[in-house]
Amino acid sequence: MKTTLYDFYDEIPPDPGAMIESLRAFGYHLETSIADIIDNSISAEAHNIGIDFNWKGERSTISFIDDGIGMTEKVLTNAMRPGSKNPLEERDEKDLGRFGLGLKTASFSQCRKLTVGSKRKAGEIFVRCWDLDYINECGEWRLLKPDKENIAPIFLSLNEFKSGTIVLWEKIDRITKGTNSDNKKHEDHFLGQIDVVKDHLAMVFHRYLEKNTNLKIMINGRQVKPWDPFLTNHPSTQRLPMEHVIFNGKEITIQPFILPHRSKFDNDKLYEIAGGPGGWNERQGFYIYRNKRLIVQGDWLGLGFRKEQHTKLARILVDLPNSLDGEWRIDVKKSVARPPPLIRDKFKQIAKLTIEPAINIYRYRGKVAERSSAASFSFPWSTSVQHGMYHYSINRDHPIVANILQNSGENKNKIKTMLRLIEETVPVPLIILNSSNNPDKIQQPFEDAPSGELQMVLKEIWDSMINTGVSKKDAKKRLEQMEPFSDYPDFVKDFIQSQESEIRNE
């Protein structure tokens, strides 16, 4: 009989201790690992998911309980197997997993002891446990099987449900190693993780948590409320035409949005919330969803665009079927996705068509206008190009500047010198640096100024226009168009109303 290369081989299973420790190094953050656990609960058709952070120093635990369909003993044992699914297999279109690693890698990234208990409808409770320290000690893949007498009390609470699953993390060394249960600072740090996790889950699962859905997530008794990246209920949000891309016979849906300018928010708190975790600059770009679950939370997908201050209002929703995971290179952590080469140009075109109007909204606060076509009195600063370099100068035609120069008498040259000095020493590099590093901390003109101060500036400009021969009717129109008062239309309206009697008598 003729032999082949495949007739002779050595079977070399991975060393259990080395393999388990390697699985801990997938690069999860606490919030992304917890999102992976929630995926399993959603796939199990849970309506209620509870997460509990229990502080006990190094003996602290994090537990998850859901009222999903639960697992039989056989299904539970297989679910605890690293690599319980082949990513090449066809899956249910609602399945949020792919590699059969999420439960294990997400848990091992945070804890050294993972115990899962589950119960099917009208069935009994089954429990399985991975203890990494024990695996390193015995050198074998021993999935612990506690008998009924040794089941931890927490798993007995499943008797209160028709069906469900509990995941328990113990020895959570990534968070609590070296902590003391009596140390208030250590406790505050541990419990402080709750807000980080809550914000992340509110973003990742917002389409499951929104109205008319049946999912509720609680963390230490506090309900997670959805965070909508696209502000779909805000009257100033712009929804651009939807695109449909067919790839490998599957449909990808793309919905671009342009978010409102800061001036369209009632207060700073609402504006900050709308920015999302990480802030406005961090959250711009494409949002990739698979089965309504957010995979990428704002990214330009390596298409050649950078996260700039002036593009931060552009956000684009992309819906993928889970059958395209491989083509989109979605990783185990469900945190990375990249469009296949054949459709990269299409996504780049959509990004460009979204960015351009978003820049206009940012620059002109919701108004589509160009400085070059505006009246000469509108802007305090002028921009020009000299020898290929940008130069910024104070607009001498601005009413208050023109009035001061006209009535400066013997001080005219001194005032011109002062203006020139200001123009030549504008700290442009520092402004650019601060804008890049802290984009959401750049104040808008008169943002925090007392109303009396704004009133005084308005009055001075008004008087300057009147003193240079501008009629009151024209002065009214000019104030409404003038930067930055065009951003405060209500305030300008109140000021002009105070002048109405004089206008009528003109």
Phi-psi region of 254 (alpha: psi -120 to 50; beta: other; left: phi over 0): beta
Rounded to whole angstroms, how far apart are CA atoms 109 and 497?
A: 64
Cα-Cα-Cα-Cα dihedral of 419, 422, 424, 430, to 10°? -160
- Cβ-in-10-Å burial (0-12, 13-18, 19+) of 308 comes to middle
Highest mean pLDDT out of 85-94, 163-172, 259-268, 466-475: 163-172
Q: What percent of the chain has pLDDT over 90?
A: 51
Instruction: Please state which of the ranges 22-26, 34-38, 52-56, 235-239 shows the lowest mean pLDDT.
Output: 22-26
pLDDT higher than 50, residue 99 = no
Task: Please indicate, yes or no, whether the overall pTM of this predicted structure exceeds 0.85.
Answer: no
Q: Residue 374 pLDDT > 50, yes or no? A: no
Which residue has tokens 């109205």? Answer: 211
Report the distance separating Cα 347 and Cα 286, nearest Å: 9
Give CATH 3.30.230 domain extents, the chain.
Answer: 238-364
Percent of the chain with pLDDT over 70: 87
Per-residue pLDDT of 392-448, as tens digits, reads: 888 888 888 888 888 888 898 999 999 999 888 888 778 777 766 666 666 677 777
Strand 389-394 vs strand 216-219: parallel, antiparallel, or unpaired?
A: unpaired
pLDDT band, residue 387 (cuts 50/70/90): low
Q: Is CATH 3.30.565.10 what the domain over 16-223 is classified as, yes or no?
A: yes
35-56 confidence digits (pLDDT tens): 999 999 999 999 999 999 999 9
Over 50: is that where the pLDDT of 391 sits? yes
288 and 318 Cβ atoms separated by less than 8 Å: yes
Collect contacts of 351-355 with beta carbons under 8 A, ≥24 apart: 351/285, 351/286, 351/300, 351/303, 351/305, 351/314, 351/316, 353/240, 353/256, 354/240, 354/256, 354/257, 354/258, 354/314, 354/316, 355/305, 355/311, 355/314
What's the CA gap between 51 and 222, in Å, rounded?
Answer: 10
- 139, 17 Cβ separation under 8 angstroms: yes
C-alpha triplet 261, 266, 267: angle, nearest 5°:
95
pLDDT at position 384, please?
67
CATH of the domain spanning 238-364:
3.30.230
**In the chain, ranges of CATH 3.30.565.10 domains:** 16-223
